[in-house]
Amino acid sequence: MTQTLGTMADLPADYVQGLAEKSVIPLWPSLRSVLPYDMPTRSTLPYAWRYRELRPYVLQAGALAPIERAERRVLVLANPGLGLERMMATPTIYLGLQLILPGESAPNHRHSPSAIRFVIEGSGGFTSVDGQKCPMEKGDLILTPSGVWHEHGHNGTTPVVWLDALDLPLVYGIEASYCIEGKPQSISNAADNSQTYYRRAGLVPYGTLNRRRADYPLVRYPWREVRQALLDLAASLAPSEPAHLAYVNPETGAECLPILGFSAQMLRPGEEGAAQRRSCSAVIHVIEGSGQSEIDGTTIDWEEGDTVAIPTHARVRHQANGKAPAFLFHVDDAPLHRKIGIYEEF
Ligand code: GTQ
């Protein structure tokens, strides 16, 4: 183990200057900063965005920013450790609270980053994804994958707010983020695929057995069904076994998007969540209930609507409060970590 690396100050100034003029720098003074021993250096802070505090600002944006002048009326949840203007909840996860008011629409577009919506409140909103009209009720997960047309609308009577999660920091960071504006979609009257072809696990359209499968066969995961699945699962497991379900592609069983992964967990009252350390960064969003998360020794309380950032390599434990279960929606970049071969659990 090298004890003391040479520093810039050890080097003759004209040598360093000569290299800099040719856009070259020596590695050894910075080696430990890019390859620290044992643990990555992290700027991401464990941090909670509290819906109770943010909701008035979200609703106020409805009056301050007409949808025609906003395109997407979104307040971005920026991790204070990473800098507000970088719009990162974690190094790969962008989060926003999006508001759409009755009668409004957000125009059709598609972009290279992949996105999801997770509905926080309100009824009657919808997102059309490549012609498929997806109702948005509280807790529903809607995918708008990379390159797929999407537009939002609202047929209801009260404001609709949802959490946007995008792999934007990664795609922007690799200088590959862009968007294409489109004409309004022609929208099918048919129910979305979660109510038809992929009505339940284990059934797929017959034709997919002998033709190429769609990359994104299912784009809506209704919370009503996920919640019931978690309740039934929790009731049948030993109390120590986590009730935790991953949202996957029903054709392949793989993660439903390439970079970010999504899952839902039910924390039973009194359940001693196991402490876990993983290489990926993550966020949790509280669908229902209250409780706390211990993240690298810091305890963060949460309640319904709150969203919490979890840095890479953090040791994490979640627990529900009180007598009712808590339901958490998880977003992580484990699919990316697995693809590039750096995923670890410790
Ligand atoms: O709704 O399509 O929060 O394009 C950021 C970029 C939402 C969207 C965001 C977007 C959208």
Question: Is residue 180 one of the residues assigned to a domain?
Answer: yes
The ligand 1 atom nearest the CA atom of 144: 2
131 class by beta-carbon count within 10 Å (0-12 exposed, 13-18 middle, 19+ buried): exposed
For ligand 1, is residue 255 a contact (CB within 6 Å)? Answer: no
Burial 166-179 (b: 16+ CB within 10 A, else e): bbbbbbbeeeebee
Query: Using a 6 Å cutoff on CB, does residue 244 contact ligand 1?
Result: no
Q: From the alpha carbon of 96, which atom of ligand 1 is closest?
A: 3
Tell me if 34 is assigned to some domain: no
Q: Which domain holds residue 86?
A: 47-339
d(CA 72, ligand 1 centre) in Å? 6
Confidence of residue 272 (pLDDT cuts 50, 70, 90): confident
Stretch 284-306: mean pLDDT, rounded? 98
Which of 98, 114, 130, 143 is the best mutation target for the ligand 1 pocket, counting ligand atoms within 8 Å of the beta carbon and taking the most? 98
Q: Is 135 in the pocket of ligand 1 (CB under 6 A)?
A: no
Q: pTM, whole model, 2 decimals? A: 0.97
pLDDT at 213: 82
Q: Answer yes or no: is 212 within a domain.
A: yes
* CATH number of residue 209's parent domain: 2.60.120.10
Rounded-to-integer distance, Cα 130 and Cα 218, Å: 12
Domain count, the chain: 1
In a domain, 16, yes or no: no
Residue 241 falls inside a structural domain? yes
- Whether ligand 1 lies within 6 angstroms of the CB of 72 is answered as yes
On whether residue 35 sits in a domain, the answer given is no
pLDDT at 322: 86
**Per-residue pLDDT tens over the stretch 171-206:** 999 999 999 999 999 999 999 999 999 999 999 999
Which amino acid is it at 163?
L
For residue 269, being part of any structural domain is answered with yes
